[in-house]
């Protein structure tokens, strides 16, 4: 198990934190994800996945609805690539530092909506009751999630 680090940066200690199964299953009912952009055999949430998403080249697959929970230490490059090659998708990411470059220069300029869930996301793979930071779902060319408690912020429709 990995220990939380009191929110001090996007470091490799949190790269293997996994989306909670219950949250992913709820989202997958609505979106029917085809591809997990940042996963390995142990933590993938989809049948099709890539541990090296930047080298993924199956354009037909990338036209489907994709899921991404990027490794914290590589979040900027993963989001840049996500918005460049994916046509539809949903991401999960920490939202306690929305003044950072990854939020200001990439996410907020490309996403259609941000969903802030009520309460903290309890990631799998770390010790503790819940994350020490808030998380957000980020949507790109799909409708916001239904059946979850929280607030949707529309960026562009």
Is 5 a domain residue?
A: no
DSSP 3-state of 119? coil
Distance CA 136, CA 91 (A): 8
pLDDT digit string (tens) for 23-68? Answer: 999 999 999 999 999 888 888 899 988 888 777 767 677 778 999 9
pLDDT digit string (tens) for 129-138? Answer: 666 788 999 9
Is 9 a domain residue?
A: no
Domain that holds residue 45: 16-154
For position 22, which CATH number holds? 3.40.50
Is 10 a domain residue?
A: no
């Amino acid at each position: 198990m990995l220990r939380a680090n009191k929110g001090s940066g996007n470091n490799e200690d949190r790269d293997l934190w996994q989306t909670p199964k219950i949250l992913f299953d709820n989202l997958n009912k609505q979106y029917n994800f085809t591809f997990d952009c940042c996963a390995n055999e142990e933590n993938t949430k989809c049948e099709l996945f890539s541990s090296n998403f930047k080298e993924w080249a199956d354009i037909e697959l990338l036209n489907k609805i994709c899921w991404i929970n990027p490794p914290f230490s590589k979040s900027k490059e993963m989001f840049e690539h996500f918005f460049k090659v994916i046509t539809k998708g949903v991401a999960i990411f920490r939202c306690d530092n929305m003044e950072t470059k990854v939020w200001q220069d990439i996410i907020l300029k490309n996403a259609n909506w941000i969903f802030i869930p009520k309460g903290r996301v309890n990631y799998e793979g770390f010790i503790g009751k819940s994350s020490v930071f808030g998380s957000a779902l980020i949507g790109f060319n799909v409708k916001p999630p239904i059946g979850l408690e929280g607030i949707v912020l529309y960026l562009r429709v």
